[in-house]
Amino acid sequence: MSMDRRDFLKIAGITGLLGAGTAALSGRMPGALEAASTSPNSNALKAKQWAMVIDMRKFKTPDDYKKVIHACHSIHNIPDFGNPKDEIKWIWTDTFEHTFVGQEHEHISEAVKEKPFVLLCNHCEKPACVRVCPTKATFKRKDGIVMMDYHRCIGCRFCMAACPFGARSFNYRDPRPFIKDNNLKYPTRMKGVVEKCTFCVERLDEGLMPACVEACKDTKALVFGDLGDPASEVRKVLRENFTIRRKPELGTSPSVYYIVGGGENAG
Amino acid sequence: MLDKALDGSKRYWTWILFLLAVIGIGMANYLKQFEYGLGVTGMSRDISWGVYIAQFTYLVGVAASAVMLIIPKYLHDYKTFGKIVILGEFLAISAVTMCLLFIVADLGQPMRLMNVVLYPTPGSILFWDMIVLNGYLFINLLVGWTTLAAERKQVPPPAWIKPFIYLSIPWAVSIHTVTAFLYAGLPGRHLWLTAIMAPRFLSSAFASGPALLILLCLLVRKLSKFDPGKEAIQTLAKIVTYAMIINIFFLAMEFFTAFYSNIPGHMAPLQYLFFGFHGHGNLVPFMWASIIIGVTSVGLLINPATRQNEKILAFAAAGIFIATWIDKGIGLVIGGFIPNPFEKVTEYSATGTEISIALGIWAIGALVLTVLYKIAISVKEETGGEEVH
C-alpha cells in the first residue's frame, strides 16, 4: 500500500501543480497591486467619467477622417501589417449599417448610408471586457477609462469575445517591425497581448486632450469631457443635440455618443 | 503500480512510439507558434478563438462524462459498472489534461499563465474554470488511483475516499456548467447568449463521453484479457441514447426561439452555420454532416436490435462522437464569432501548424489514456476484474 501511495503522490505532485500548489501560492502574495498606470502631474485633467461626443455633421472630407486616425495611430505606435487578419486599430471608420447594427433600413438617406462613421473603444461604464478578464489586465480607472496593462495580459482574448463593439485588437505577431515612425515617447507592444484605444490617458495625465480630439479641434468634430460635470462641454453638447450610442440595449453603457445628423449632409 | 506501464507487448510500444512521434511534431510546431505568435494560426481580429478553444470545450464534456458511471455505481449500487468505473475516471484524467493543454496553447503569453493565480479575479469565469478543471483532475487522480490500488490488493477501498467520490459528482457538473458560462454570459454574441447553454453542454457531454467509453470498452476487450461486460456496454449505450436525444431536442429549441421570434441577431449565426449567411457558408456541410450522422446514430441506438449488435453499436457510438465533435469542436465556437459585432462575416480555417499542435495535444491525451488504461487493465487481468466490498 505504501508503495502505491508513493506512486500516487509522484503523479499527483506533477499534475496537481497548477491546482492546489498555485492556489496556496496566491495566499502569500502581498496585497494585489493595481495594474500599471502612469503617474499624473499637477496639470493632469481629471474627471468622474470621461466621455466623447462624435459629431458626424462635422466630418465632411476624407481628410477630416484621415487626420483624426493618423493623429492616434502615429503617436501610439500602431503597426500596419497590410492585412485584415492581423490588423490592429484603435480608431477607424465603417458604414452606418455596420456601426449601428439593426438601426439601418432600406430607405435611409443616401448621405447617411454612404457616410463613414468614426469608431473607437466605447469606454463603457459597465464594460464586459473588464468583467471577463482573468488577471485584471484590462480594468476601469476611477475616471471611467477602460485601460490595458500590456505587461499583465496573458493573451487569452476573453475580452475580445466579450466586447460587443469589436474595439479590441490582438498582436498576432511581433508588431515592432511594422511600425512606420516609432514614437519613442509611447511604449510599443509585444506579440501575444490585446490592445485598444485608451482615451490617451498618457496625454490626459499631462493636461492634454486626446490626440484625436486635438487633431480636429478647429471643427470640434470630437468633443471630449467629463460626463459627471454638468458644466462640461460634453454635457452641453448632449443637452443641445439628439445623440445615440451603439448597442445601448446590451447594458454596457457606452461613453461614446454620436450626433448622426442627416439632412444637412445631403448637400 | 506505475511499473505495469513499462511492461507491454511490441504492439503496445509501437503505439506509444507513434504517439510520441505525433507529439514531437506538434511540439515542434508549438515552438514555431511560441516564437512567431498566434499569427501562425487561422485566428484573426474577428475570429479570435479557434480550434484550440473549441477542442478544450469539447473535451470538458468528455471529462465530465465519468459521472455517468459514478452515479449508477455509487448512488444506485449498480454493480455492473463496478468493473469499468475506473475506465471512466481515467478517461476524465486524460480529457482534463488535454483541456488544460489546449488553454495553454491558446494563450498569447503562455509564460504569464500564473498571472491568473497571482491576480485572482473571482469576477472572471475563466478564473473559476481554472479552479474547477484542476480540482476535477485532482479528484479523479485521487479516486482512480486509490480504488485501483485497493482492488489490486483485493481489499475494500479505504473509507476516506468515499467523500471524494461523492464530491466528484457535483464537481463533474460544475466543470461543464462553468465552461458554458464562459460563453453564455457574453453580451452581443447571440449564438452563445442562451440560458440552455449549460444544459446543452451537459447533454452533449453525456452523449459524447460515454460514446467514447463504449468504443474504448470494445477495444479493451479485443486487445486484452479483460472483458468490461456486455451488460455494462449496453447500459452505456442507453445513457448515450437518452443524452443524445435530449441534445438534439435542445438544438431544436434554439432554432425555434431564433426563427419564430424572427430577431435578426439571434437568427444570424444559425443561418451562417446551417444555411450560409451573406454568401458565406464554410461550415454548412460540416453542420449538416453532424445532424445527419447524429440522427442516424440515434436511430441505430433506439432500435434494440441494432443497439444490441455490438458491431452496429460501435458504428453508432463513433457516429455520436463525431456528430457532437462537429457541433461543439467546430460549430459552436466559430459560429459564435460570425457575424462579427459589425454584422460582417470573416471566415476561419485552421492552418496546418494549428492542426498539428492540436493533434499533438490529442496525442498527449491518448498517451496518458494508454498508460493509465495499461495499468488498470494489468490490475484487472490479475484480479479477474472483481472488486472487494
Q: Is the pLDDT of residue A41 over 90?
A: no
- Cα A215 from Cα B83, distance rounded (Å): 74
Where residue A20 falls among pLDDT bands split at 50, 70, 90? very low
Contact (CB, 8 A) for B201 and B184:
no
Crossing angle between the packed helical segments A20-27 and B125-153, to the nearest 10 degrees: 130
List the Cα angle B227/B149/B236 in 5-degree steps. 35
More confident residue, A33 or B333: B333
CA distance B10 to chain A (A): 25
pLDDT in tens, A209-249: 999 999 999 999 999 999 999 999 999 999 999 999 999 99
- Whether A3 has a pLDDT exceeding 70, the answer reads no
Q: Which stretch of A9-13, A133-137, B49-53, B311-315 has the lowest confidence by average pLDDT? A: A9-13
Residues of A in contact with B39 (CB under 8 A): 85-86, 172-173, 191
Question: How far is Cα A46 from Cα B124, in angstroms, rounded to an integer?
Answer: 29
Residue A28, pLDDT > 50, answer no
Residues of B in contact with A251 (CB under 8 A): 187
Cell 459498472 locates to: B81
Say if B182 is an interface residue toward chain A (CB within 8 Å): yes
Mapping DSSP onto H, E and C, the string for chain B reads CHHHHHCCCHHHHHHHHHHHHHHHHHHHHHHHHHHHCHHHCCCCCCCCCCHHHHHHHHHHHHHHCCHHHHHHHHHCCCHHHHHCHHHHHHHHHHHHHHHHHHHHHHCCCHHHCCHHHHCCCCCCHHHHHHHHHHHHHHHHHHHHHHHHHHHHHCCCCCCCHHHHHHHHHHHHHHHHHHHHHHHHCCCCCCCCCCCCHHHHHHHHHHHHHHHHHHHHHHHHHHHCCCCCCHHHHHHHHHHHHHHHHHHHHHHHHHHHHHHHHCCHHHHHHHHHHHCCECCECCCHHHHHHHHHHHHHHHHHHHCHHHHHCHHHHHHHHHHHHHHHHHHHHHHHHHHHCCCCCCCCCCCCCCCHHHHHHHHHHHHHHHHHHHHHHHHHHHHHHHHCCCCCC
Chain B partners of A162 at a C-beta cutoff of 8 Å?
A: 186-187
Average pLDDT over residues A157-175: 97
Q: Does A4 sit within 8 Å of B145, measured CB to CB? A: yes
**Closest approach of B254 to chain A, Cα-based (Å):** 20
CA distance B244 to A18: 33
User: Mutate which of A3, A7, A8, A163 to disrupt the B interface (most B C-beta within 10 Å)?
Assistant: A8
- Average pLDDT over every residue of A55-67: 95
Which of B57, B119, B155 to probe by mutation at the A interface, max A CB count within 10 Å? Answer: B119
Contact A19 B138 (CB under 8 A): yes
The number of C-alpha atoms within 13 Å of A77 and in the hemisphere containing its C-beta is: 15
pLDDT tens track of chain B, all 389 residues?
A: 778 888 888 999 999 999 999 999 999 999 999 999 999 999 999 999 999 999 999 999 999 988 999 999 999 999 999 989 999 999 999 999 999 999 999 999 999 999 999 999 999 999 999 999 999 999 999 999 999 999 999 999 999 999 999 999 999 999 999 999 999 999 989 999 999 999 999 999 999 999 999 999 999 999 999 999 999 999 999 999 999 999 999 999 999 999 999 999 999 999 999 999 999 999 999 999 999 999 999 999 999 999 999 999 999 999 999 999 999 999 999 999 999 999 999 999 999 999 999 999 999 999 999 999 999 999 988 887 666 66
pLDDT over threshold 90, residue A4: no
Report pLDDT for A265. 46
Torsion sign across C-alpha atoms A74, A77, A78, A80:
positive
Map out the domains of chain B as residue ranges: 1-184+350-382, 190-222+235-347
Check residue A43 and give its pLDDT: 85
Instruction: Identify which of A135, A170, A251 has the shortest CB distance to residue B187.
Output: A251
Query: In DSSP terms, which residues pair with A146 in a beta bridge?
Result: A140
pLDDT, position B3? 80
The predicted pLDDT at position A212 comes to: 97
Of B109, B121, B188, nearest to A193 by CB-CB distance is B109
pLDDT in tens, A243-258: 999 999 999 999 999 9
* Residues 120-149 of chain B whose Cβ lies under 8 A from any Cβ of chain A: 120-121, 123-127, 130-131, 134-135, 137-138, 141-142, 145-146, 149
User: For the residues A140-145, what does the mean pLDDT come to?
Assistant: 96
Task: Compute the distance between CA of residue A168 and CA of residue A153 in angstroms, rounded to an integer.
Answer: 13
In terms of Cα–Cα distance, which of B86, B137, B58, B75 is closest to B329? Answer: B58
Instruction: Give the pLDDT score at A29.
Output: 46
- Interface-testing mutation among A100, A106, A172, A253, with chain B (most B C-beta atoms within 10 A): A172
- Compare CB distances from A19 to B44, B134, B149 and report the shortest one's residue: B134
Residue A264, pLDDT > 70, answer no
Q: Which domains does chain A have, with CATH numbers?
A: 32-265 (3.30.70.20)
Tell me whether B341 touches chain A (CB under 8 Å).
Answer: yes
What pairs with residue A222 in β-bridges?
A: A54
Nearest in space to B364 (alpha carbons), one of B27, B37, B61, B50: B27
